[in-house]
A and B are shown apart, each in its own frame.
Chain A
Amino acid sequence: MGSSSSSRNKIPNAQELMHQTGFSSAHLLRLHDRFESLDRDNRGYLSPDDFEVLGGLAMNPIGGRIIEAFFSSGQDTVDFSSFVRILAHFRPTDRNRNKEGTQQELPSSRTRKLKFAFQLYDLDRDGKISREELLQVLRAMLGLQVTEEQLQSIAERAIQEADLDKDDAISFDEFKKSLEKMDIDTKMSVSFLK
């Protein structure tokens, strides 16, 4: 009959996390609850199969790649601070952070979001999206709904448009250029409720 009151004291390095990521203490508490509910065996870290049970991810055509991008730094577990840091990339960019003196974060957070999206395409992490990799992503997103020829022509057109230095692959800068007019900030941020 114990109580289940969550308190900030359960979260390690709470202050540091708040400072670095910009999440408020209320957000941090909620993310901690979420982390604990995903971590079914109470191990203190998450592994890919903890994500695979989420219905929304399992039905997402690129769900597997999103999970892989979460574990990108070569490890196969993610603890709470890494979890929060990765999710912090997707906060709406906070234009009023001058007080903390972290003006430098503003341009890089757009870059961070783009980097995450780039990693969804670039599976072997060589810094370029090859034609093969593009075909694989298209196949994942479209499944069996289009023919092989249609896939090839779609991939061909996409590469022709974006590949500026004609090396038959899309580098990160070319990727950035092709998305430069897009409002990445709203299209790729998750709006946390206060």
Chain B
Amino acid sequence: MEDLWTVAVAVFQLWIFVVVFFITLPAMFGLSLGVTSVYIQILVKLLEWATIRIQRGREEQPSVPAPLPNGIIERAEGSMEEEMEQLRHSRSLEGGEFALSDILYFCKKGLESIVDDQVTQRFSSEELASWNLLTRTNQNFRYISLRLTIFWGIGVFVRYCVLFPLRITLAIIGLSWLVIGTTLVGFLPENSVKYWLSEVVHLTCYRICARALSATIRYHNKENRPQKGGICVANHTTPIDVVILANDGCYAMVGQIHGGLMGVIQRSMVRSCPHVWFERSEMKDRHAVTSRLRAHVAAKTKLPILIFPEGTCINNTSVMMFKKGSFEIGGTIHPVAIKYDPRLGDAFWNSSKYNMVSYLLRTMTSWAIVVNVWYLPPMTIQDGEDAVQFANRVKSAVACRGGLLDLAWDGSLKRGKVKDAYKEEQQKMYSRVIVRQNSISATHTRRDDQS
């Protein structure tokens, strides 16, 4: 019994030694031993082999469905006018502007929405073009070949028994260092040393947390990094976005005060650095929120605010409507585009399906998180542009840079109904089709009268 105990203690000491010296310390200084990049290269090669093997297997067994990342139906891309023209083509219209068959256009569009729509698709994880050897994305692939199954089995062992404990340890170290460090820094008087120390503490913690997720982050265009007194906006996929962005700079976070562990972290963070946390009651008062943010931005020496204007997590294939509230504060907007590589791990947080804890556990048992971050040049509101147009302009820039689809739908659609303005738009378009026919038939009758 005694021997078992000493062995366990020795193993534990060795474990902590490895973790601290080979991972935590280099992470704090922003250095890397290169292990992660080798790991990712091996993984990518493995997945490429798996893809080829699955394609071969699918040819042999046609009952396995092919993945369809763009939806399950093919939609006609014509406008309403074009399709109505085609519908009427087979009828000769003498006087009637309206044809009973017009309803078929709306019927078909409605049925297509029932089978597949652009919005609901964005709130579930992106479907991969092939299997990435994780159980959760499996669609009966593992029965294709024995070697594939063996690799999958090894993968399960490596991820759950080797990587997962490592990541949990790192996460605990990172978060406790954040709480302790910021509390200590909070005792200092307000001077430049305090700000510098606070930045160091924040940066090192986020770097450790990034290692806890095996995150490989590539930053592009670092010269456009958000400056003090500005507002940073980015597309939102997961709460981890915060860790990804904060690895390369310090931001003032905006959000609601939570209870529990999150609350402890939030309260200690604000001691060393002016984050903007709101009470739940304040969040409902838009005016109060805007004025507090405006005061923060006006003091040009404070850290840039980090805001996610979509308001909710989207699955990283598209960018949805940016809410105009963030764009009414004033100041310079620094857009950032974040794109995750879905092959090695699904970063999207489906908040209706998983809660925070199970989401984090799933992320920590994926292969890795690989992410590209693009800093875009700063944008300001132009003359004659209102907040909504400005928001759309920024959204298009972010979507273009990140290679994401630019959608006009509101992200909160996953919780609520769509506005009537869209229906009015459809009605307007249809009335134009009918009225146009009307004017054509009117000129016909006029000509008949004259002749």
Contacts and interface: CB of A to CB of B under 8 A. Distances in A.
Interface of A: 1-7, 25-27, 29-31, 34, 37-38, 40, 51-63, 66, 70, 87, 90, 116-117, 120-121, 137-138, 141-146, 150, 154, 157-158, 161-162, 170, 175, 178-179, 181-184, 187-194
A117 B113 contact: no
B118 A120 contact: no
B136 A61 contact: no
B65 A30 contact: yes
A52 B65 contact: no
Given A25-B63, A179-B101, A181-B90, A5 B138 contact: yes
A25 B140 CA distance: 13
Given A3-B136, A56-B110, A187-B108, A178 B100 contact: yes
A142 B140 contact: no
Given A60-B106, A190-B73, 15 more contacts: A5-B135, A26-B65, A37-B120, A54-B113, A58-B423, A59-B422, A59-B425, A61-B106, A66-B110, A90-B108, A117-B107, A157-B97, A162-B100, A178-B100, A193-B72
Given A54-B120, A55-B119, A62 B135 contact: no
A121 B99 CA distance: 13
A87 B427 contact: no
Contact of A117 (B104, B109, B114, B124): B104
A1 B138 contact: no
Between B104, B108, B114, the greatest number of chain A beta carbons within 10 A of the residue's beta carbon is seen for B114
A1 B66 contact: no
17 contacts: A5-B136, A53-B413, A55-B413, A55-B418, A57-B114, A58-B418, A62-B110, A66-B110, A70-B114, A141-B103, A141-B430, A145-B430, A154-B98, A157-B96, A162-B100, A187-B86, A193-B68
Nearest to A57: B113
**What does DSSP make chain A's interface, helix, strand, loop or mixed?**
helix
B341 interface: no
Contact of B362 (A1, A87, A150): A1
Given A7-B140, A37-B124, A188-B104, A141 B427 contact: yes
A161 B113 CA distance: 32
Interface of B: 63, 65-66, 68, 71-74, 86-87, 90-91, 95-120, 124, 135-140, 352, 358, 361-362, 365, 409, 413, 416-418, 422-428, 430-431, 434-435, 438
A188 B310 CA distance: 35
A61 B426 contact: yes
A192 B66 CA distance: 13
Contacts of B438: 150
B118 to A, nearest CB: 7
B430 A182 contact: no
A181 B111 CA distance: 23
Nearest to A192: B73
Given A56-B113, A62-B103, A142 B430 contact: yes
Nearest to A70: B114
A143 B424 contact: yes
Contacts of B137: 4
Nearest to A59: B422
Nearest to B124: A37
Contacts of A31: 72, 115
Nearest to A181: B90
B417 A53 contact: yes
B301 to A, nearest CB: 43
B136 A55 contact: no
Nearest to A6: B139
Contact of B426 (A30, A60, A188, A191): A60
A4 B115 contact: no
B423 A190 contact: no
Contacts of A4: 136-137
Given A29-B65, A193-B73, A145 B425 contact: no
A59 B418 contact: yes
Contacts of B423: 58-61, 63, 143
A61 B430 contact: yes
A121 B103 contact: yes
B356 to A, nearest CB: 14
A60 B73 CA distance: 18
Which are the 4 A-B pairs with shortest beta-carbon distances? A56-B113, A26-B65, A59-B422, A143-B427
A87 B428 contact: no
Given A87-B111, A188-B108, A145 B87 contact: no
A168 B74 CA distance: 40
B41 to A, nearest CB: 26
Contacts of A60: 106, 109-110, 113, 423, 426
Contacts of B119: 54-56
A181 to B, nearest CB: 5
